[in-house]
Amino acid sequence: MKAYRVQTHDAHPTLTDIAMPDPADGEIRVKIHACGLNFADLLMLSGTYQDTPALPFTLGMEVGGIVDAVGESVTTVTVGDRVAVFGGQGGLAEFGCYDSRRAVRLPAGMSMTDAAAFQIAYGTSHLALDHRARLQPGEVLLVLGAAGGVGLTAVEIGKLMGATVVACARGADKLAAARNAGADYLIDSDTQDIRTEMIRLGGADVVYDPVGGDQFEAAFRACNPEARILPIGFASGTVPVIKSNHLLVKNLSVLGVYWGGYLKFRPEIVTESLATLLRWFEAGKLKPHVSHVLPFDQVADGLELLRSRKSTGKVVIEIAG
């Protein structure tokens, strides 16, 4: 079968012929139809992601596909089931073997493209806003990077949870995507000062930050007393230094969020969250935003869309029809 393999860091993955895997005990083999790309894939390529696999490995963290074979002791899914799987790697391939506990059956109305775009983005935002920040109706939620893969889901979920959502993104097109996702107020980070605009709007009670850098600093200074700040990632390339004396003065909380980490020490949190999200999807309350669907031979183009921040929502690679 064909797979995009990372042989060395800081080099493009190469399309390679490798042996078809067989599922071990407790595993399933999935015929992969679509793979969602994530900013973390870029970090894996450079070897800087917290869960970068040992070389060589197949890139691609989350997939939608059909169960093709099952190993011994698998009881939760059967051959032919349509599933979404977060495997952490292995997704940019024609087939992949995964722990069966990572597989989620798809609702009838969910396409493979939506399946490949769903788990990480929606899972991260729901866990962050619900489990970590305990976002309350009527609170003001500031979403940085609001047109990105996770940012748009934070806007959607924040509105569903009853918050007033302020979306910060770069340029009119990205702000339009955030508005369509339900944002109440918009801040153009290219032309407006985030701190000034947030103070004008009454300050932030919760900050959702996948960007870091100067935007974190501006949002930090616009927080209300007892605000909760959620570092999700550092797309700016700069990890901010937090001034603990300012935390003290305003009684602020900084709550780190790594969705994949919960699968290792409290997987039930992820399971419950995904169940809620799939119910919302079936009820028509969530509408995954995929800006680009590219064929299997255009993985490099998909990664460049993430690197250059030219996409909104998710970029998905279509592997099988």
Residue 299 to residues 31, 90, 221, 232, 289, Cα–Cα distance (Å): 18, 14, 39, 24, 19
Average of per-residue pLDDT values in the chain: 96
Distance CA 36, CA 61 (A): 7
Contact by Cβ (8 Å): 79, 24: no
Long-range contacts of 266-269 (CB under 8 A, 24+ apart): 267/101, 269/127, 269/131
Distance CA 31, CA 263 (A): 23
| Cα atoms found within 13 Å of the Cα of residue 178, Cβ hemisphere only | 29
| Rounded average pLDDT over 18-24 | 96
Task: Answer whether residue 321 shows pLDDT above 80.
Answer: no
The residue ranges of every structural domain in the chain are 2-118+288-318, 122-258
Question: Which residue type does 120 have?
Answer: I
Task: Answer whether residue 221 shows pLDDT above 70.
Answer: yes
Distance CA 309, CA 320 (A): 26
Dump strand ranges (E) for 251-297: 253-254, 290-295
pLDDT (tens digit, 9 = 90+) per residue, 47-74? 999 899 999 999 999 999 999 999 999 9
| Rounded average pLDDT over 73-98 | 96
Q: Phi/psi of residue 161, each to 5°?
A: -85, 0
Q: Is the pLDDT higher at 206 or at 50?
A: 206
Distance CA 189, CA 308 (A): 16
Compute the C-alpha angle 8/11/16, nearest 5°.
Answer: 75
Looking at CATH, the fold of the domain delimited by 122-258 is given as Rossmann fold (3.40.50)
Q: Phi/psi of residue 31, each to 5°?
A: -80, 110
In the CATH scheme, what is the homologous superfamily, with its name and number, of domain 2-118+288-318? Medium-chain alcohol dehydrogenases, catalytic domain (3.90.180.10)
Rg (C-alpha) for the chain, rounded Å, is 19
Residue 311 to residues 153, 155, 315, Cα–Cα distance (Å): 14, 16, 7
pLDDT (tens digit, 9 = 90+) per residue, 22-38? 999 999 999 999 999 99
